[in-house]
Structure formats: structure tokens, C-alpha cells
Chain A
């Protein structure tokens, strides 16, 4: 991957982090007040999601009409199309964690730039949770490649 591609990733991340914090999605109270349908409901998150999806939908149409991205030789798009237990189970676990504390991964990481003391608890746990799953996946992958090593 070229130097330019890395600078582009930094640029995109910076715009993303600015968007999250300007939209105040880095404030977990605002997120939970959206998720709390029976409380003092705050619908701001719908405008965040709506604005982001409309721009991404239109922009993706134009970008994917090109043969390749500007700084890479191909588009890296998810190949999987199956709706399986991992998708549903993972979404349930994520929904529980999100509804409990009001942080999803993007805003939690961006909050590190806002000196949010809560992010210092949440983000390391986020990393441990994700690594635990990836580590289990790798072990399963190795076990299935070497059936003789299992008892």
C-alpha cells in the first residue's frame, strides 16, 4: 500500500472523527436518549444516520462506477452474503453492549480525543472483546487444518 493511500486513510478517519463529534454521537447520553423510546426521546441520531447514508449511497454509486480506486488496484468489498447465526448472534451481543453504555466502536475511539474518562474503560475492553473473537477464529482455523492434532 502506497504512502498516498495511508495519508488518504488518515484524512478519511479525521473527517469521520470530526463528523462523529460534531454530531455529538460521542456523548453516550445522547445515544442512550435515542435508544430509550420511553424516556425523553432525542431523535438526533436519526439525522446523523440519515445524512451519512444518503451521502454514502450517492457517493458509492459514482465511485463504484470506476474500474479501481485512486490509490489501490481494487475495491475491497465484503464477499459474504449469507444471513447466518454469527451475523444475528453478533448483532444481538453488540446491541446489548451498545444499549447498556451508549458507545459503539467509532464514537468510543473518537472520544479518546475528547479526554473522555469513560473511553479509557470502554476502549481497552472493546479491543479485548474483538481480539478474543479473532483469536478463537484463528484457533478454530488451525484446528480444522490439522485434524490429526485433535484428541
Chain B
């Protein structure tokens, strides 16, 4: 069980929205994490550094919030590492194939009223609901 934390969720959500607006206003870019990271490897040199710095910022922002005491390190234990790797491969391949993840489609795409993003978000949400049900209730996969 985790407690319902609507205030922290809303504050965090507003900051995520602000970050998306900043990146479009200043650099003309969509704040989609899978797209920014996925195009890093094959990017031309002029297109590479802003991607590296955005991803470094993600790490820095979480680290700083933890240091300031407004965010805690997650402490799930006992979750199978093999499933973490399998899930990572699926999320990496899938978000590259559909050109977006929770941030690119779920936040930025929906904010642009993109039909593609609305469809993608509906599909990955419904699939995730079904997967979590199967994993947790039929196979008893859980960390604590």
C-alpha cells in the first residue's frame, strides 16, 4: 500500500508541465524522454549535447529534491532483477517503436491534442492495467 498524496502529485505535475513549456519555448523541443534519449546515440554532434544535458538534468533534479528533503529515494525490495531487465527491454523497444512514452505522448502529445498521442496513451494505459493485474494477482509478482 502507498498513501494517496494528491498535493505532492499536483505540485510535481505542475513542475513537469512547466519543464515541458520551458523546453518548447526556449529550444523548440518536445519534452519526451524516450525520444530525447533514444535519438542520442545516432544523433549528429550538433544535436547531441542538449539531449545529454536534458537527461543529466532529470538525474540532477531528482538528486537535488532528495537533498532538499522534498523527495525520497524509493525503497522497494525483493523485486526480481530479471523482471526489471525484461521490463526495461520492452519499455525501450516499445517506446522507440511508438515514438513516445508517458511524457512525449501522455503529457506533451495530449497537450497538443495529437490524435496519435491520444491513441497511444489509451493503448499503453489499458495494456499496463491488464499487465499489472496479471502480474500481481495471477502470478503474485510483488516487491515490498
Binding site for B on A (CB under 8 A): 1, 4-30, 32-33, 35-40, 42-57, 59-60, 63-64, 66, 68-72, 74-78, 80-83, 86-101, 103-106, 108-116, 118, 121-134, 138
CB contact between A114 and one of B33, B71, B107 (< 8 Å): that residue: B71
Chain A residues, CB < 8 A from B125: 95
Report whether A98 and B14 are in contact in the complex, using a CB–CB cutoff of 8 Å: no
Give residues 48-65 of B contacting A (CB, 8 Å).
49-51, 53-65
Number of interface residues of B (CB under 8 A): 114
Report whether A97 and B87 are in contact in the complex, using a CB–CB cutoff of 8 Å: yes
Report whether A21 and B34 are in contact in the complex, using a CB–CB cutoff of 8 Å: no
- A72 and B8 CA atoms in complex are apart in Å by 33
Chain A min CB distance to B20 (Å): 4
Interface centre among B13, B73, B94 (most CB of A within 10 A): B13
Chain A min CB distance to B88 (Å): 3
Report whether A124 and B88 are in contact in the complex, using a CB–CB cutoff of 8 Å: yes
